[in-house]
Amino acid sequence: MMETIEELVAQRRGYKYLNKDGVSPYQNFKYDLTPGTEFKTQLNADIREDCGRGWNLATLQWIIGDTNILSKIIVEFSIPKGAKIIVPTNSTGKFRADIIRLEKVHDPLELFPAIKDIAERLKNYNPINPITAETMPSKTKIKKIMAQVRDQVGAQVWAQVWAQVRAQV
């Protein structure tokens, strides 16, 4: 069973997912993935802000719901004593701290063994009718399609507007 946000905060631990090259998909920040590396920053202490300044960490449950973990690494951090922790009021699994220490880099398959079989099956997956766009239509054709869409949508909108005006008059 995965830890709750309350359990992780009490244990002064949390997780973050990164691209396989160690870069954050949100801030494009490249992390030094050496165990023991400490990261410090200013902290936004406003509990009304879900994603304020600080090192944002999360529960594993939140991470599963936010990304395709098969294409990521999951990094476990500890929060040293004396570091501040902010849990936003409406948090669904995220919290932030001003100081974090890298403990371990996890392969998602190590943390979630149930997806190992799925990952193996996906390696050999070939879609039956993949959609491929080898060439773009000409500018003239695109403009013609856009004009048709504009005319159709415009006609529907004006019909609704005039119907409402007539109903009120």
Q: Which of 112, 101, 79 lies closest to 8 in space, CA to CA?
A: 79
6 touches 96 (CB < 8 A):
no
Q: What is the mean pLDDT of residues 93-97?
A: 96
pLDDT, greater one: 42 or 1: 42
Domain enclosing residue 115, as ranges = 5-123
For residues 84 and 148, membership in a common domain is answered with no
pLDDT digits (tens, 9 = 90+) for 38-79: 999 999 999 999 888 999 999 999 999 998 888 899 999 999
Whole-model pTM?
Answer: 0.70
In-domain check, residue 131: no
Specify the range with the lowest mean pLDDT, choosing from 14-23, 41-50, 108-117: 108-117
Token code pair at residue 12: 């002064």
Report DSSP state, residue 112: -
Token code pair at residue 54: 């600080």
Report DSSP state, residue 135: S
pLDDT at position 71: 87
Query: Over 90: is that where the pLDDT of 169 sits?
Result: no
In-domain check, residue 98: yes
Q: Using CA atoms of 18, 23, 29, 31 in order, give the dihedral in degrees to the nearest 10.
A: 80
In-domain check, residue 76: yes
pLDDT at position 125: 77
The Cβ of residue 27 has, within 10 Å, a number of other Cβ atoms equal to 8
For residues 89 and 118, membership in a common domain is answered with yes
